[in-house]
Every structure is written in C-alpha cells, then in structure tokens.
Amino acid sequence: MGWLEFKKIGIDPFRHFSELKFVGLPQEKIVYAVLNREVDAGMVRTDTIESMAAAGKIDLKQFRVLNQQHAGGFPFALSTRLYPEWPFAKVRHTSDELAQKVAVVLMSMTPDHPAAKASKSSGWTVPLDYTPVHDLYRELRVGPYQDYGKVTLVDVFRQYWYWLAVVIGVILLLSVNTGYILNLNRGLKQSQKRLLDITLKLEQLSILDGLTGIHNHRCFQELLEKEWRRAQRSGQPLSLIMVDIDFFKNFNDSYGHPAGDTCLTKVALTIKQCVNRPGDLVARYGGEEFVAVLPEVGIEGAALMAERMRKAVEALNFPHRESPIGAHVTISLGVASFVPTRESTHDTLIEAADKALYAAKAAGRNRVQIATAV
C-alpha cells in the first residue's frame, strides 16, 4: 500500500532509500524504531499508534504522519488510500446451508459480544468491494499480476504459428467462461438476496422484543438518548410514561407462564395502539414493565395519553382472579415530562417517571400518577 503511494510521486523505495527493513510482527517494534531514531520513518497499519498512545506507551505528539489522507468517517491517522478489511469466505465444497448459518452468527454478533471484544472489532457486515486490492496488485505488477501485460517473442511466435487453433481455442474458452460467469452471477445474486433477507431479519431482531413484538429495551435507550439531545437543541419538552401490570406475579402463579406471556403480549399491543404519532415509541422496559417516549409533548398531554392507555387495558376485561383490586388485569402508570438542559441527562426523566409509577402503586394501583418534580 505504501509502495503504491511512493510510486505515484516517483519514489522507488528499493532503490532510493539507503536501507529498507522488514521487522515483522508485532508492529509496535516499528514504532519504537522510529521513536528511538533507529530509522527515519516507519510504516504500520492504521490504529497502531492510536492504540499504543491509549495504552500509555507513546505520545502521539512525538510523531508526524507523512502524506496524511482524510477519509470521511475514518477515525485513525492515514497515509494511503483505504482498502477492505479481512473477509470471511467459504471454499467451493462448503455447503450454502452451512455458510448461511455461519453468516447469521457473524452478522448477529454485537459489539459487546466476548468474541468481538477479544478481536477488538465491532462485528461483521456484508462483503465489501475488493476491486481496490486488485488495482493495487495490478499497478505494482505483484502477486497474481506479476506478469500482467507482458508479451514475449515466444508468445507472438506461437500466436501467429497456431493462429487458427488459438482463435478457435479463444472462442471456445470465451464461450465457456461467459457461461460460467453468467451462472456465477446468478448464484451471486441469489446469495446476495439471501444475505439481504438475513440482514433485514437480524435488524428486526435487534430492535424488537422477542415475546411481545414491540420495541425492546435497547431500542428504547437509543431512541430516548437521541430524542433527549434533540430536545436539548430545540427547547421542546420530552415526556416519558412508565407502565407496570398490577400484581403480575400473582397472575403468573395462578394461571401459569404461558398465560402470563399471552397477558404481556395483549397489554403491550393495547398500549402501542394508543400511540398514533410516528415519532412516539412504545417498548418493553423489562419483565411486566413498559415505557412510552413522547417527544414534544408536555405533562398534560402525556397524562391524557397515560389515562387512555389505562382505560384501554381495563377495557380488555382480561381475567385476573388473584388481583386484590378487581377481577381483571389493570395497569399502573407513572408520567414525567422535562425540557432538557445541557447539565441534565435522560436518566433524570427515567427516575422521575419510575418514582411516579411507584407512587401510583402505593396509592392503590390502576391509576395514573404524575411526577411532582423532575
């Protein structure tokens, strides 16, 4: 990669440098060689010096990046153009079924997975375009392109001596190769479609709760943080409703966990149907608790929405013989609203709504309680 950058400005490192050393791994040895003035310059892969600096091994101010490049969204110092990372590929005799299973596992790996942490990566994505790698090898005439474009006298002689055989052979070869490429492209398109379907399914799984079908806790946290920052900029209020099914443990103990799962799903969908705006979000907070995020809604509007949810669940008339407050499933709700400031965090809003929810429970349940102060 560095060789190509040198070539573009007329430098041949194998002729113009007084000495060229290849020290092998780990690449930290190269950084130390530059630091100790054993060499004038060194070349390492991106993020090496940043990692060493983060570990306290070096001070970045002691180094200067040569031929510095800038690539949008790329966080590390860079002297060459960018090339794709390591791929994970299957060999010809590996079945498509096994490859698809492995792809699902890799694509579903989250940044906090132990394997991702061990490799210091953020997971896997769909295959990238490796054309820049081929262009690099072709321009330097190395690897599979070492003899690319060379024509010898022997080649010319053979070409004209057997011109008829060559022409026929080329035509046959092109016909076979064209058929092979067309078949390969069909298979590639099918594989890409399957991979895209898998990716879409994985994206859905990453944001939806597996039981109720509404958004999960992770999606709630991400949206709340995003809406909090947006409300900080706009000065608009942000409201939060926390919902808890009354005496749900008694329900599970009496009817069993399958019935409990049915109850959770019905309540979740009922609450979700009460929220109509595209920017609002209903999610499962955990266990029998749910949350609703209402951007640009004040405390009065949020309280009305909470009361609508309470009545909708009560109207289900879902039997609950072990409820001390009635014969049907009910919910308690805590409501909080806040205009964010730069000094505050979204945890403040969660804590306020949670306290209001506990106050609703303490006051007899099946009611809406508004936070007294945030």
pLDDT digits (tens, 9 = 90+) for 63-91: 999 999 888 888 999 999 888 877 888 89
CA dist list (Å): 194 to 88, 185, 245, 265: 17, 14, 40, 30
Specify the DSSP class assigned to residue 370: E
pLDDT the model gives residue 155: 64
pLDDT at 351 over 90: yes
Question: Model pTM?
Answer: 0.49
Q: Report residue 285's pLDDT band, with 50, 70 and 90 as the boundaries.
A: very high
What's the pLDDT score for residue 73? Answer: 86
Residue 57 clears pLDDT 90, i.e. is over it? yes
H-helix segments, the chain: 2-8, 13-16, 28-35, 48-54, 96-107, 114-118, 131-140, 153-161, 163-207, 217-234, 248-255, 257-273, 299-314, 346-362
Whether 252 shows a pLDDT value over 80: the answer reads yes
- State the average pLDDT for the chain: 89
Counted residue by residue, the chain has a size of: 374
User: What is the reported pLDDT for 200?
Assistant: 63
Whether 131 has a pLDDT exceeding 60, the answer reads yes
pLDDT at 159 over 70: no
Q: Give residue 343's pLDDT.
A: 81
Residue range 178-193, pLDDT digits in tens: 888 888 888 888 878 8
Q: What is the pLDDT of residue 298?
A: 94
pLDDT at 158: 67
Please tell me the predicted confidence (pLDDT) of residue 198. 74
Q: Which of 51-55, 95-99, 220-224, 338-342 has the least mean pLDDT?
A: 338-342
Q: Does position 149 have pLDDT exceeding 90, yes or no?
A: no
What is the 3-state secondary structure of 276-307? CCCCCEEEEEECCEEEEEEECCCHHHHHHHHH
> What is the distance between the alpha carbons of residues 336 and 348, in angstroms, rounded to a whole number?
10
Question: Given this model, what pLDDT does residue 157 score?
Answer: 67
Mean pLDDT lowest among 143-152, 267-276, 354-363? 143-152
In this structure, the dihedral spanned by the alpha carbons of residues 104, 109, 114 and 119, taken in order and rounded to 10 degrees, is 100
Maximum mean pLDDT: which of 8-17, 141-150, 237-246: 237-246
β 238-245/289-295 pair status: antiparallel
The confidence score (pLDDT) of residue 24 equals: 85
- 373: pLDDT strictly greater than 60: no
Query: Is the pLDDT confidence value at 34 over 70?
Result: yes
Residue of higher predicted confidence among 217 and 152: 217
Q: How far apart are CA 227 and CA 120, in angstroms?
A: 30
Under the banding of pLDDT at 50, 70 and 90, the label for residue 196 is confident
Percent of the chain with pLDDT over 90: 60
Residues 298-316, mean pLDDT to the nearest whole number: 96
- Indicate the pLDDT class of residue 203, thresholds 50, 70 and 90: low
End-to-end CA, the chain: 56
Residue 249, pLDDT score: 94
pLDDT at 316 over 80: yes
Percentage of residues of the chain with pLDDT beyond 70? 95
- Is the pLDDT at 267 greater than 70? The verdict is yes
CA distance 105 to 124: 10
Per-residue pLDDT band for 124 (boundaries 50, 70, 90) equals: confident
Q: Is there a contact between 220 and 291 (Cβ–Cβ < 8 Å)?
A: yes
What pLDDT is attached to residue 201?
A: 65
Please tell me the distance from the alpha carbon of residue 17 to that of residue 294, in angstroms, as a whole number. 64
